[in-house]
Structure 1
Amino acid sequence: MKTEKPSYKWYVIYTKANREKKIIKSLNEQNLTCYLPLQKTLRIWSDRKKWIEAPLFKSYVFVKVSYKEFFDVLCVPGVICYVCFGGKAQPIPDKQIEDIKVFVEQDKTAITITKESIIPGTKAEVLYGPLKGVQGEIVKFNGKFRILIRIPMMGYCLHANISKDEIKIIEPQKPTDSLKKKSQKVRIGHNSIGNSNSTNPYINSYLPTHV
């Protein structure tokens, strides 16, 4: 009988506060693929200043697992649950993880992270510069054109200034009511993670949608 090869996908896990780096260390020790975006932050004390690397998304870590390792992640101290939508853990496309890495791991462009509600823009790909290859939306924000990566399950947007000469349009803008409704559902699913009134957050609702 032929055994089906496990399918590995990226997921988001929600963690206890200030435990992200310890969780990454534990996941690495178990040879589990994971990713924690970091940003340099200037920490100021009364007697000194110091640049430190802090998690870009507080209390969130990305993991790439199949059904074999899925529940092993939940056993790591500090991990609370998988981020869900519609009662299931939702995978994140590999391309989006790659784009987030490009955004975060270069220092030539100022990156902004926000939880503001931004109207959907035209889908585009960056052709030149430090963000080359990134696919996102072109939006006008504070009077400037920005390339935006939307992470709806986490409620975050990453964006940076971009020239219209540096991008190519992938498809024309077609905002629809269904898109708005879908975004609303995502926010509801995300907010339910921190609901202390939920009965048991680990029963069924955190199974992956694809194995």
Structure 2
Amino acid sequence: MKLEEPSYFWYAIYTKPNRERKILENLKEQNLTCYLPLQESLRIWSDRKKWIEAPLFKSYVFVKVSYKEFFNVLSIPGVIRYVSFGGKAQAIPEKQIEDIKIFVEQDKTKIAITKENIAPGTKAEVLYGALKGVRGEIVKFNGKFRILIRIPMMGYCLHANISKDEIKILKPEKQSDELKKRTLPQKSIAKTSVRF
């Protein structure tokens, strides 16, 4: 009899403040796939300035686990809980993690993170430039067109400036049953269009 291989999914874990790096080390020691997006920022004191790397999402670390390791993660000191909805941990699509990595790893386009409620936009994929391959929404934000990635279970949006020459508009696609099970239910939102 052949045992079925476990399925691995990405989850966000909520941590105690300033414990993200230590938790990341502990996850790696357990040979778990994990990710902590970091962003450089300039800290200014009265006597000096210094560039530092800080977590992009404060008090969050991403981890990819199956049912086998799921509860082991909760025993790591500093881990509070999985980000959940209705008492159930919400898996994050692999593509969304890949897009976050592209956003963070490129250095030519300044990215921003916000908890602001941004109106929905047209789905698009970036074809050229530093953000090539990212799929998100095209929105107008502070007078500029930006590509936006929503992370609904955490309440965050990542966005960066984009040119109309760098994107292609995507046709609306139906959400698969598996994806519906792993993501938060969305309220119905009126469609908007973007004109360039």
- Measured against the shorter chain, the TM-score band is 0.7 to 0.9
Q: Distance in 2 between matches of 1:118 and 1:50?
A: 32
The residue that corresponds to 1:180 in the other structure is 187
Identify unmatched segments of 5+ residues in structure 2.
174-184, 190-196
CA distance in 1, matches of 2:15, 2:172: 38
Q: Structure 1 CA distance, aligned partners of 2:18 and 2:87? A: 26
Partner letter of residue 158 of structure 2?
A: L
Q: In the alignment, residue 105 of structure 2 is paired with which amino acid?
A: E
Question: How do 1:41-80 and structure 2 match up within 5 A?
Answer: 41-80=41-80
Q: Distance in 2 between matches of 1:179 and 1:44?
A: 40
Counterpart mapping for 1:12-51 below 5 A: 12-51=12-51
Task: Tell me which stretches of 4 or more aligned residues in structure 1 moved more than 4 Å.
Answer: none
TM-score by length of 2: 0.87
TM-score normalised by the chain length of structure 1 = 0.81
Distance in 2 (alpha carbons) for counterparts of 1:17 and 1:2: 43
SS of aligned partner of 2:31 = coil
Tell me the secondary structure at the aligned position of residue 153 of structure 1.
coil
Partner of 1:126: 126
**1:2 CA drift (Å):** 1.9
Matches of 1:172 and 1:96, distance apart in 2 = 17
| Superposed displacement of residue 172, structure 1 | 5.3
Code of the aligned partner of 1:30: Q
Task: Give the equivalent residue in structure 2 for 1:3.
Answer: 3
Q: How much has 1:36 moved relative to structure 2? A: 0.2
Report the number of matched residues: 178
Q: Paired residue for 1:138?
A: 138
CA deviations on 1:46-89 (whole Å, 9 max, x unpaired) are 32221110000000000000001001100111000000012211
Q: Which residue identity does 1:145 align to in structure 2?
A: F
1:122–1:171 Cα contact (<8 Å) kept: no
8 A contact 1:124–1:167 mirrored in 2: yes
CA distance in 2, matches of 1:147, 1:59: 25
**Amino acid in structure 1 at the alignment position of 2:56:** L
Work out the percentage of aligned pairs sharing the same amino acid: 81
Aligned to 2:160: 160
Q: Which has the higher contact order (CA 8 A, sep 6+)?
A: 1
Please, which runs of 5 or more residues in structure 1 have no aligned partner? 183-211
Q: Which residue in the other structure is 1:102 paired with?
A: 102
1:45 shift after superposition = 2.2
- Report the Cα distance in structure 2 between the residues aligned to 1:171 and 1:146, rounded to whole angstroms: 19
Question: Helix, strand or coil: the match of 1:46?
Answer: coil
Deviation at residue 142 of structure 1 after TM alignment: 1.2
CA-atom RMSD in angstroms: 1.6
Q: Give distance in 1, aligned partners of 2:134 and 2:15.
A: 27
Corresponding position of 2:181: none
Inter-partner Cα distance in structure 2 for 1:179 and 1:120: 12
Q: Give the whole-Å Cα distance in 2 for the aligned partners of 1:27 and 1:172.
A: 37
Residue type of the alignment partner of 2:99: D
